[in-house]
Amino acid sequence: MDIERSPLARPFPDAPHIAGVIPRVTRAGYKDWGRCDLTYIELSEDTSVAGVFTRNVCCSSEVELGRQNVKTGNARALVVNAGNSNAFTGYRGREAVEQIMAQVAEHLGCAPEDVFVSSTGVIGVPLPKDKAREGVANAFTAPECSWEDAANAIGTTDTFTKGAVASAMIGDTKVNLVGIIKGSGMIAPDMATMLGYIFTDAAVDSVFLQDLLTASSDASFNCITVDSDTSTSDTVLAFATGKAGNTPLRSFDDAGADAFAAALNDVCRQLSHLVVRDGEGAQKFIAVSVSGAVSNESARRVGLAIANSPLVKTAIAGEDANWGRVVMAVGKAGEPADRDKLSIGFGGVWAAREGLPLANYDETPVAEHLRGKDISIEVDLGLGDGQATVWTCDLTHGYISINADYRS
């Protein structure tokens, strides 16, 4: 199946080398697509790790084992398989993951629990252990690759490779962060809605890194949606090698902790937006900003009700300023709202204020805004100080075409 590059695509950034991280790719042949589909990333000793995972109860063995392994706080390697999610595959799927972990652990002389595995692709087909074994063995001797090659190898229906970079000063030491991610469909905010990996040369205690990643995820990955579906394999992992040589960060009391947290937030925000920009069939990137809610969480839920509405998403696809569909979505969100205090706008132009359409409303600038690629919807509930922004894309026939042919 040939998929056209998203018109919302962004170029892959100039990503720096991260000391203590060696990425390699190879072809295991999980699908007949003529490209590398196994990513192996070796990490130096004393690398700390944090992770957030899907809440889908039909999750893969990779997710189950990842949840257990991340509690140790240590990591030596990451293996990502593309083309087969290895989810809903019972004991055979778990055996395949444990085989990979043991194979890498023997190669590196580390504990199997220090090896993290992710898989993405078709559900219900056990990961072929013979292909996995051969692919991992080939990865050990493959040349070091670029971050863009690593990002490309983890994709499935992605139409462009996705990466993000940031840096921060910890005292007199500059630390770098690089993130790669895959995701295009089956995206909904229930942590993490994709496979994403962040690498830094900063020294960060694993417990503090976990706190930072959880907070960053709540403000980024948990605020995006493409189609309201939560995957069985979704994972975001952060690895800190400590090779920059800074004094290890253990809490916000440490100098430079705020700067590092801001850089991590930046990377997560960039990556989450890239996933939405590659939403299956997407033609428009949509930011839904909700203010005046009774709480920030209530604002987020209202925003997601709007962002997940097929009627709203198809209206944006058709460049139709149908603000009545936004009213509908607010009303069905199950959150406090008052029809007579509700205000709705597009692109900074209010169409309705405090429950009434504006008498002098001119749809011309709104129509012009909707013809663009980056769309904003503003909602003011008029009830309190709660606010949130969530991001989504429009819903087009391309989404149907991609998913109708997904297994072919």
Asked whether residue 193 is marked as a ligand-binding residue, the answer is yes
Which residue type is seen at 107?
H
| Residue 40 host element (H or E) | strand 38-53
| Distance between start and end Cα atoms, the chain | 7
Catalytic-role residue among 89, 120, 161, 193: 193
CA dihedral for 57, 150, 130, 100, sign (positive or negative): negative
Beta strand 21-26 with 38-53 is antiparallel
Distance of CA 399 to the CA centre of its chain: 18
193 is catalytic: yes
Helices 296-307/323-332 angle, 10° precision:
130
Asked whether residue 156 is marked as a ligand-binding residue, the answer is yes
Cβ partners under 8 Å of residue 201, min gap 6: 18, 19, 20, 21, 175, 176, 240, 241, 242, 243, 244
Measured in degrees and rounded to the nearest 5, phi and psi for residue 86 equal 55, 25
Q: Is 352 exposed, middle or buried (0-12, 13-18, 19+ CB in 10 A)?
A: middle
Q: Is 44 exposed, middle or buried (0-12, 13-18, 19+ CB in 10 A)?
A: middle
Asked whether residue 403 is marked as a ligand-binding residue, the answer is yes
Asked whether residue 54 is marked as a ligand-binding residue, the answer is no
Asked whether residue 408 is marked as a ligand-binding residue, the answer is yes
Distance (Å, whole) CA 96 – CA 117 = 10
Q: Which residues are annotated as a binding site?
A: 156, 182, 193, 280, 403, 408
Q: Which residues are annotated as a binding site for substrate?
A: 156, 182, 193, 280, 403, 408
Give the residue numbers annotated as catalytic, written as ranges: 193
